Structure 1
Amino acid sequence: MKFVIESLTKNGGRLGQLHIKDGAPEQRTPLLMQTTKGGSIPCLSADVFESHVTRKPQVLQFTLSTIDQMTEALAQWNRADRGLSDYVGFPGHLNVLLLRDPCEMTPAGGNDRDIQPLFTRRGKESLSPQRYMEMVASLKPDIYQGLCDADTNADSSKKRVQKSVDRTEKFMQYIYENKSKVESALLAPIVGGYNTFARTQSIKHAHEQPADSYGGYVFEGFHTNGLAATTLDASKLLPIVQHCVGQLEEGKPRMVPGAYTPLTTLELIGLGMDLFDTSYAYCAAVNFKALTFTFAQDADAVVHVPFLDITDDANKEDFTPLLKKCDCLSCKKHTRAYLHHLYKTNELLGPILLMIHNLHHYLAFFEAIRQSIASDGLQQLTELVRRQNGDSQVDYGIAPNRKVISKATMGKGFAAAAV
């Protein structure tokens, strides 16, 4: 894996080219990875995604907690030049393997000195460094993160934070010593909660390794995933990230998984972060919200809202698209009233149309981010997203939608999202 910086702007942000493996197209950063669950993009088949979201090759974000059951089958799969993306029906797409699902809250606890808990659909599994490397060898992702203890957040005690750093160092020492058994590129985990001393210790351990031991960094331990990332206090997060970035070399990409809000994402990019995922778009969709925030620098003076709640009865007779000027399938062919009807009737098409729109909108958002960095306009874009042409900062946090769903419809359409 190679990373080349195209430009650094005086007002924040950096553009780069990420070359993951030979023969694969280069990816421009800041990069939006496509979050998957069980090897699939939520609610969408590969054909629907490529036909109605984007035809450009993507980087898929797989999580071991949702695909661990595939390891035995993949170990026996005679795939020659085919990889993990081919196995799940996305040939031609690159992939990254993480431990935890950024779309769902990761349970706390279950930590032990020599193992890391992995919370799967079948329950909690015990993951030793040896077992983890065996699974990575079977899955053969293009990039994988190092095993780490990321069971920390803003409320974690100093003792819990220090244990996460010490256990991660122990796990990573084994992985550094045995990484030659795996051809995939490694991301070194940086942990330590909201403690600058602990984060520095984690960075120092990575820097003590040979220069070619890993290809980039992944920042873990700021939240418990799921909706928690959409409501975290950015005023606590950003100083810690800034402290860490000041100790990192420029020539390696930096990933921050999780459902960070569009505003927090822009602020993280301004500090020099490069790789993000679509878990925010997913969290919005499963809580019946269509993303409607504007990022067009030439937007009109109308005050925009972050998202539209399609369960609101005000949409019952609203025959306008989810978002004006959006050219996704959902907005070109359907209306707010129709999406509201699909919610009311628990139709399977509802989540599909909502995911198509949210992913399309978020991909366009990242394209606008790259353009703004190229023109040294990231600060102006950040301010637009912060206030949406209004006088005060808008709230991008996503609260759980508590709509009542009958047991008879559980598992169908939008009902599955509300359970």
Structure 2
Amino acid sequence: MIFKLLKKDPKSGARRGVVTTAHGEIQTPIFMPVATHAAMKAMTPAQVHDTGAQIILSNTYHLHLHPGEALVQKAGGLHQFMGWDGPILTDSGGFQVFSLPKKRITEEGVFFRHEDTGEEVFLDPAKAVAIQEALGADIIMNFDECIPYPCEKSYAERSTEKTIRWAKQCREAHKREKQYLFGIVQGSVFEDLRKRCAKELVKMDFPGYAIGGVSVGEGLELLKQVVGYTAPHLPEDKPRYLMGVGLPEDILESVERGIDMFDCVIPTRYARSATLFTNRGRIRLTNKNYRRDFYPIEPNCTCYTCRNFTRAYLHHLFTANEVLSAILASIHNVHFYLNMMAEIRNSIEEGRFKEYKETFLASYLKGK
């Protein structure tokens, strides 16, 4: 991987960079739309591309269960299978596995039940890497233990040590040079554990680093603290990825603390429930106030939906339970996120990120 740091904001830790992969460049900071099952919900790859997406994320756990990595590999890998020619990141499946109600965690890996057949499945660091190598993503992730919140420090200590051991096993199992394996820093909300995990992973010299175990119920203030005392221990010349985050305010606060990459299901999940993002906060288009509202979702938005349709039309689609409602809403929400990221990059280049953040949040949170 080639990561080039282009600019640092003079008044914060915000960074402007570019990541080069086999399937193209990624301008950072960037948001990665989530295509869990090798598909964006309610969007075609062309529509995702048109929103400004540079990289998307798919899920190892779900693709291992359906349709299986062997089939994806036979199809030519994820890019060919899903018709996406840009960079792809796959997560290791750790978050999904550890959120299952019935699983058995051992020092070697995790046993869980197949969601359809009930068959026992075992996933360990080497297997998680092998699955991701077969899927063929550009960036793949270590298998780690995602620590729940809240938890006792004694549990977090044991879990963090396990994540460090598993990271070493992932590093040893990784064979494909054109795929870049990122380490994942765990440690819950405990600063000393985050610092230890980060330092041990940095010794292993991964091409990039992620902060995991956030967005698990700890809230924005704790998220800011965790990112604030973890990011400084990560190399400046490697990309930094905050997993599963999130809302616009989460992203802005984390960019300020030096994070380069983000992912979350929120834009499309909210879209399917008629919740749309605007610069003046979120709006719910099923509200009867929008029945005769002939303005676009966001008057100055350049997405396909806002260029062609009104709030009244989308209100009609949602109340009529038309599939098109989810498509048009998803296009807008993903565009909103990626346009925000483009504005963030511009503000860093111009040395005014702090001003941008304050202006954005003053408008967005007022209407929230």
**TM-score normalised by structure 1 residue count:** 0.80
Q: What whole-Å deviation, never above 9, does each CA across 1:50-100 have from its counterpart, x for those lacking one?
A: 4x534xx721211112222230213434x3xxx42121111x211111034
Q: What letter corresponds to residue 326 of structure 1 in structure 2? A: C
Deviation at 1:233, TM superposition (A): 2.3
Alpha-carbon distance, 1:171 to partner = 1.6
Letter in 2 for 1:93: G
Mapped contact 2:347–2:353 kept (Cα < 8 A) = yes
| Alpha-carbon distance between aligned partners in 2 of 1:102 and 1:147, rounded to the nearest angstrom | 9
What's the counterpart of residue 128 of structure 1?
Answer: 124
Q: Does the aligned pair in 1 maintain the 2:95–2:146 contact within 8 Å?
A: no
Residue of structure 2 aligned with 1:173, choices 168, 177, 195 = 168
Contact 2:9 2:352 in 1 (8 A): no
Any residues of structure 2 matched to 1:143-154 within 5 Å, and which? Answer: 143-153=139-149
The alignment status of 1:236 with 2:229, answered yes or no, reads: no
- Alignment correspondent of 1:258: 244
Gaps of 5+ in 1: 294-303, 397-419
Contact 1:53 1:356 survives alignment (8 Å): yes
Q: Tell me the residue number matched to 2:2.
A: 2
Which of 82, 100, 106 is residue 88 of structure 1 equivalent to?
A: 82
Tell me if structure 2 keeps the 8 A contact 1:196–1:240: yes
1:64-213 matches, cutoff 5 A: 64-68=60-64, 69=66, 70-77=68-75, 79=76, 83-90=77-84, 92-100=85-93, 106-107=99-100, 110-113=103-106, 114-116=108-110, 122=116, 125-153=121-149, 155-180=150-175, 183-209=178-204, 211=205
Q: CA contact under 8 A between 2:202 and 2:235: conserved in structure 1?
A: no
Secondary structure of the structure 1 residue equivalent to 2:174: helix
> After the TM superposition, which residues 354-369 of structure 1 pair with which residues of structure 2 at under 5 Å, given as runs?
354-369=329-344
- In 1, the alpha carbon distance for the partners of 2:363 and 2:256 equals 19
What amino acid does structure 1 have at the position aligned with 2:252? L
Equivalent pairs, count = 362
When the two structures are superposed, what TM-score results if normalisation uses the length of structure 2?
0.90
Q: Is the 8 A contact 2:60 2:93 kept in 1?
A: yes
Contact 1:278 1:359 in 2 (8 A): no
| AA matched with 2:92 | L
Query: Cα deviation per residue 1:16-42 (whole Å; 9 max; x = unaligned)?
Result: 111123xx4322111122211210111
**For residue 283 of structure 1, what is the aligned residue in structure 2?**
269
Aligned residue type for 2:357: T
Which residue in the other structure is 1:342 paired with?
317
Match of 1:8, as an amino acid? Answer: K
Shift of 1:350: 0.4
Pairwise CA distance, 1:152: 2.2
Return the alpha-carbon distance in structure 2 between the equivalents of residues 165 and 394 of structure 1: 39
Deviation at 1:386, TM superposition (A): 2.1
- Contact 2:112–2:121 (CA under 8 A) maintained in structure 1: yes
Structure 2: runs of 5 or more not aligned: none
Paired residue for 1:408?
none
Partners in 1 of 2:24 and 2:220 — Cα distance? Answer: 34
What residue is the counterpart of 1:215 in the other structure?
A: 207
Q: Counterparts of 1:59 and 1:112 in 2: how far apart (Å)?
A: 32
Report the CA distance shift for 1:323/1:117 in structure 2 as closer, same or farther (over 3 A).
farther
Query: Are the aligned partners of 1:285 and 1:351 in contact in 2 as well (CA < 8 Å)?
Result: yes
2:211 maps to a residue whose letter is F
| Structure number with higher helix proportion | 2
Is 1:20 aligned to 2:13, yes or no? Answer: no
Query: Is the CA contact (8 Å cut-off) linking 1:310 and 1:339 kept in structure 2?
Result: yes
* Contact 2:240–2:261 (Cα < 8 Å) also in 1: yes
Q: Cα 1:357–1:104, aligned 2, differ >3 Å: closer, same or farther? A: farther
Give the equivalent residue in structure 2 for 1:300: none
SS in 1 for 2:42: coil
Letter in 2 for 1:290: L
Q: Could you report, residue by residue, the CA deviation over 1:165-207 in whole angstroms, capped at 9, with x for unpaired residues?
A: 1221222221122223664111001001101111112112213
Pair 1:375-2:350 in alignment: yes
Partners of 1:59 and 1:96 within 8 A in 2: yes
For 1:104 and 1:342, the matched residues in 2 are separated by 36
Provide the C-alpha distance between the structure 2 equivalents of 1:130 and 1:34, rounded to a whole number of angstroms.
Answer: 27
Contact 2:34 2:40 survives alignment (8 Å): yes
